[in-house]
Structure 1
């Protein structure tokens, strides 16, 4: 059996590992348009910042691929003939028995006037990192656009090089659909505390320059000097290359075992879209943890050991410069909040009908197993508050929480 995996991100690599674990005899080919060596995409910022080298970001050493007999091929998938079971790889036909689409996502660059100028870009792959290295050489002022996690990462990267950053966020506070007002204020303070000119309610009207960016004009008429514009306005699933080979919507539509509409073709990671998401799960989840679990599910399915995709309690983590964040479950609009803060840290328990359904922690480390149990078992708020000490995972001498 020949298994072809298109994409060598965490979803593709995890799928390859699980195919090999379940089937010692399968032939496995993993295709990437970027690099032969799979790397941790979330670590690219630390390469730019000088904390890591590119080799430090490799997911495995060379011997791993040889020992597990996983062939790595560099090439761009141009199309798929799901009837003939053939992948078009740079014009060459590659036959397969089972195939995984794990091509991730691509940055969305808005169609502002001047958006095509040199020095305007997102950050997703190694080519983007190379472009950013070249485009920011000698630059002393930059603008970052977009109020998500990528915008913060771009701002932090630039600040480590001494670049003055103006950070434009369209909303009137930081991530209002995710954070409470208090949490948004903590994050804004953390960003501004590192010298970033953070502006809310600000949108780009145009990017100006002759051959490369020189300034950004906002919709309220401000002109901000900038030799570089980092764009963090979102991503979209990388599925256009598939044409009509499989059914797509925003991403590749998959069932609860991550199978697509084509026989013996699966999809996983940022490019996959669940037809019927489980309760509390979004149809498309561009998150590292989700991609890894979907890769495992798809890999077992391709190896003949199918199982439903079972994401469990939602989890994600991030950093806003020095401020760590963890989130578990649902922390949205429905229900009520118990919230504590000492002005530098915060903890919020979100509950519905008395039962905790989500946890958001800024500057406070929590134990994943404990928080997940609260949510899975529907613990009442009072019981969770009584168990706060057991749920914390802070260093030994961290300041106590006051409830």
Structure 2
């Protein structure tokens, strides 16, 4: 194989796997990994759990140790990419430098969806997406006694469980009528509702947030119905937005993510995308999907590496996810969107181990297992 350069933008699960797969598939050219955080690619799921609790370090979370990148001759450069020139096949960095590429892979991830209410600029108000966010939350925890978490999805509930383990009083505010409403059946929601209440979490469902109050530091969360919840720490987890601006500015098609084929290619044959930022067609579910999970990032990266190295293998794996809360592990296989029936094995109303199978038109499409 001729000696070329693959430039990977974003230090993530997808980019770490891409480095592995490129070498395994025979790429003997240069690999340049550009990330805007100081760390090598690290695991994100533990951030809201063991990393928040202080039982793991960023080095513990490295997906691959520094020795791997040295051995496989992967160059890591901390920088932010500010632009792509498709004509010149270069990327521009925030220090003004330009870097040429033969193949460019965008592993840009996603960022927290902003909550547009007054008071978001107060001290003690945090999002939870990267190690720096957790560092700021840890600083707030030194004096915090009462936390309000806005959002009862996986991130919000995992953070609630971690904070309860640390002895912090926690309220969770969710505009939907039940926890995990977007991703699980009512039976699974009811189970986690019960678990969190038993652990002392104050769940406020079916109500939005009007404002965050305080002088310089947050002191309370004003709910839409007028109630004020005392808080000296607020964590916002109301979903994410894919980082697509680089691709969009370069003229690539963007629609709920960077649009790619089932090999991770954009319409530019030399530019690929993988992970949370990429939107591909899933033949199994007969729709385009943008998935936010480690398994998807890993499979995307393998497909992209294969396409670059002439060993094409389309994205085909069943997506799977997990969530750790207290002593419970929820494992999810498939996508439950559009289900019309569920079958339970075990009793979520009384036990702590069960499975929920999702069907659409009589066909099994997903399963939740606790």
Is this a same-fold pair by TM over 0.5? yes
CA gap of 1:140–1:8, structure 2 versus 1, over 3 A, is same
Task: Report the equivalent of 1:287.
Answer: 293
Q: 1:199 aligns with which of 192, 204, 208?
A: 204
2:288 and 2:269 map into 1 onto residues whose CA distance is 25
Task: Report the equivalent of 1:125.
Answer: 130
Shift of 1:109: 1.7
Task: Report the equivalent of 2:160.
Answer: 155
1:360 aligns with 2:364: no
Q: 1:58 aligns with which of 62, 85, 97?
A: 62
TM-score for the superposition, normalised by structure 2? 0.92
2:233 and 2:288 map into 1 onto residues whose CA distance is 34
Deviations 1:331-384 (A, max 9, x none): 34543222233312322233345443332222xxxxxxxxxxxxxxxxxxxxxx
1:250 aligns with 2:266: no
1:43 aligns with 2:51: no
Q: 1:264 aligns with which of 267, 270, 277?
A: 270
Shift of 1:283: 1.6
Shift of 1:150: 0.6
Corresponding residue SS for 2:263: coil
1:214 and 1:36 map into 2 onto residues whose CA distance is 33
Give the structure with higher Rg (CA). Answer: 1
Is contact 1:215–1:226 with CA below 8 Å preserved after alignment? yes
CA gap of 1:202–1:28, structure 2 versus 1, over 3 A, is same
1:2 aligns with 2:5: yes
1:109 aligns with 2:117: no
Matches within 5 A, 1:170-185: 170-185=175-190
Deviations 1:268-323 (A, max 9, x none): 0001112x332326521011110111011112222232332223x33222123222
CA gap of 1:48–1:175, structure 2 versus 1, over 3 A, is closer
TM-score for the superposition, normalised by structure 1? 0.85
2:101 and 2:56 map into 1 onto residues whose CA distance is 37
Shift of 1:257: 1.5
2:360 and 2:39 map into 1 onto residues whose CA distance is 47
Deviations 1:170-211 (A, max 9, x none): 111122343333221111111122221112112101011111
Deviations 1:146-184 (A, max 9, x none): 121010122123223321111011111122343333221
Deviations 1:22-73 (A, max 9, x none): 2352100011100242211112231220221221111122211111111111
1:355 and 1:243 map into 2 onto residues whose CA distance is 37
1:146 and 1:89 map into 2 onto residues whose CA distance is 35
Task: Report the equivalent of 1:273.
Answer: 279
CA gap of 1:54–1:69, structure 2 versus 1, over 3 A, is same
Task: Report the equivalent of 2:174.
Answer: 169
CA gap of 1:256–1:222, structure 2 versus 1, over 3 A, is same
1:160 and 1:152 map into 2 onto residues whose CA distance is 12
Deviations 1:252-274 (A, max 9, x none): 11112111122300000001112
Is contact 1:20–1:26 with CA below 8 Å preserved after alignment? no
Task: Report the equivalent of 1:89.
Answer: 93
1:282 and 1:193 map into 2 onto residues whose CA distance is 39
1:200 and 1:250 map into 2 onto residues whose CA distance is 27
1:79 aligns with 2:87: no
Q: 1:212 aligns with which of 217, 220, 236?
A: 217
Q: Which moved more, 1:283-292 or 1:37-46?
A: 37-46
Is contact 1:109–1:121 with CA below 8 Å preserved after alignment? no
1:292 and 1:259 map into 2 onto residues whose CA distance is 15
How well do the aligned residues superpose, as a CA RMSD in angstroms? 1.8
Structure 1 portions without partners, runs of 5+: 363-403
